[in-house]
Amino acid sequence: MAEVYGVLGRLLRREWILQVEDVLAMAGVDISPEVFMGMVILAVLGIPIPTFIFMVRAFPDIALIVSVGVMIFDALVIYVWLRMRIDNRKKQIEEVLPDFLQICAANVRAGMSIERALWFAARPEFGLLSEEVANTTRRTFGGEPFTQALRKLAKKFNSRQLNRTVNLIIEESSSGGEIATLLEKCSSDARQVQILHKEISEMMLMYVIFIVFASCIGAPMLYGLSYQLIGSTNKIWSDINKQNPEGFPKIGAMSSILQPRPPKVSTDDFYKFAIIATILVTFSASMIIAVINTGSWINGFKYAPFFVGLGLAVFFAVTLLFGLVFASLFSR
């Protein structure tokens, strides 16, 4: 089956395959880019095409729209999955990078070469970073040039801190500079960045609370109340029309302005609008919260199910509660 995927992947341009290879390396997906793109092609087209054939028979008017929507959804799922893996790997290594560099600096000051310093600093508690550094040093000991191995290591993570550190190590090694001092400085800078991120997150806490309350509680409550008010108003106008089939008497020349009229928004239309608006508002809020907390909107997909679920739950609860309240008022 891998051969079939590979044949499909080779139909794409070579430049695209090379870009996919870099993305897969950053995501930690150990698979050939040609095979991966073949799997993507089958995933993106394999479901929409049968969907289109089925929809043409049952609902011909919307068959193409639904099929294109399914295709976009499949591609979006794959993209989000890759981006979340990339961001997760970046977060894992940046959390331990300051301590790792500090140990490397101590090893260099103890008389080790930079290759051996990296090897002995790759401790199990550093997790993913230790695994990748160990693989890098193994290739170096096997004969691969040190600078080339380091550049491959940097390409496996979408991290500016790691890229900057690798570039500085390569430049300092080629110029014969003080590697230990450089590693200590890089460690200090990485730690300062972590502290700054925590301070910013704490400063933005009140904004996060406000956004969560406004999107998940405030907006759904207003939508639920508005829905019941529209329903009650329509009921009142229905009773008035029954009592006055000919409508209100016209009042002078300004009758077109002063003439009372029933609302033009039906309860069913507003109910659909309220649900769609609640989903959009809560989904947007999850993206904003992700940017504030992690710096990447893609992590908002982790929060989105909780935000959307909470918003819809509040809307339905408020709708039910006010429905009982208004029903008791009109029954008197």
Could you give the number of structural domains in the chain? 3
First-to-last C-alpha distance (Å) of the chain:
71
Within-domain flag for 60: yes
Residues 6+ apart with CB under 8 A from 158: 26, 86, 87, 89, 90
pLDDT, one tens digit per residue, over 109-150 is: 888 888 888 888 888 888 888 888 888 888 888 888 888 888
pLDDT, one tens digit per residue, over 209-243 is: 999 999 999 999 999 998 888 887 777 766 666 66
Mark whether 43 and 97 lie in a shared domain.
no
Picking from 87, 121, 156, the residue at the C-terminal end of a domain is 87
Mark whether 172 and 229 lie in a shared domain.
no
Which of 295, 234, 309 lies closest to 269 in space, CA to CA? Answer: 234
| Stretch 92-96: mean pLDDT | 89
193 three-class SS: helix
* pLDDT of res. 331: 59
Dihedral sign of CA atoms 239, 245, 247, 248 in order: negative
Within-domain flag for 110: yes
Mark whether 12 and 72 lie in a shared domain.
yes
* pLDDT of res. 256: 52
Mark whether 222 and 299 lie in a shared domain.
yes
Residue span of the structural domain in which 126 resides: 90-196
Please tell me which of 265-274, 296-305, 307-316 the model is most confident about, judged by mean pLDDT.
Answer: 307-316
Residues 6+ apart with CB under 8 A from 193: 161
| Stretch 184-189: mean pLDDT | 89
Q: Which residue has the higher pLDDT, 202 or 244?
A: 202
Within-domain flag for 208: yes
Mark whether 121 and 22 lie in a shared domain.
no
Mark whether 325 and 212 lie in a shared domain.
yes
Mark whether 191 and 135 lie in a shared domain.
yes
Within-domain flag for 247: no
Within-domain flag for 122: yes
Picking from 57, 87, 117, the residue at the C-terminal end of a domain is 87
Structure pTM? 0.76
Rounded-to-integer distance, Cα 166 and Cα 179, Å: 12
Query: For the residues of 206-241, what is the DSSP string, one character each?
Result: HHHHHHHHIIIIIHHHHHHHHHHHHHHHHHHHHHHH
Within-domain flag for 148: yes
